[in-house]
Amino acid sequence: MPPSPLPFDPIREAGRQWEAHWGAETVAPMEAVISIVRAAQITVGRLNGALEPFDLTYARYEALMLLFYSREGALPLGKMGVRLQVHLTNVTKLVDALERLGLVERTPHPEDRRTTLATITAEGRRVAAETTQVLNAMGFGTEPLGAEELDAVIDALRALRRGAGDFDETAPADADDADA
């Protein structure tokens, strides 16, 4: 059961306090960042709640879906880290958890004995499809935002990510599409 809502907007109150100490021109960036972080907490909490019956977290779901969509259903752990944008230690923990659930198995790379692949199992494919239906039905936790609001969020955050060098739009879409 979610906690009762506060009788005021704590981010707006933080903005009021911030303005008094640091000036009006610094309020919008601070409120924007706190809003992004809080929105992430809310949506990830909703997603984790929806995935709990499957013993998944959103991070595990992302890793499972990465394998689901890979050409061969298998990727080296290092490539998973790059694509998920997380440290290899976290990939190892994610794969360990998915392996315990029978959704993924570690397999040797067919051409490189030094490399281990995470390979999605048939049960993993089934769970990936079922959980995706659940998340799609709940709008991935973004309610009450409508299509126009979601497009505005996507555009604004893409601009922020682009400015941070998060991706290269000039590269071909399949530039890093090789699975192994």
Q: Write out the chain's pLDDT in tens, 180 residues.
A: 667 899 999 999 999 999 999 999 999 999 999 999 999 999 999 999 999 999 999 999 999 999 999 999 999 999 999 999 999 999 999 999 999 999 999 999 888 888 899 999 999 999 999 999 999 999 999 999 999 999 999 999 999 999 999 888 887 765 545 454
pTM given for the model = 0.87
Does residue 81 fall inside a structural domain? yes
Report the domain count for the chain.
1
178 belongs to a structural domain = no
Burial class (CB in 10 A: 0-12, 13-18, 19+), 24: exposed
Q: How far apart are CA 71 and CA 17, in angstroms?
A: 52
**Whether 73 contacts 121, CB under 8 Å:** no
> Does residue 5 fall inside a structural domain?
no
Within a domain: 139: yes
Q: What is the 3-state secondary structure (H, E, C) of 36-79?
A: HHHHHHHHHHHHHHHHHHHCCCHHHHHHHHHHHHCCCCEEEHHH
pLDDT value of position 24: 95
- CATH number for 79: 1.10.10.10
What is the Cα–Cα distance from 68 to 151, expressed in whole angstroms? 26
* 87 within some domain: yes
Range of the domain at 58: 10-22+29-160
Q: Is residue 123 part of a domain?
A: yes
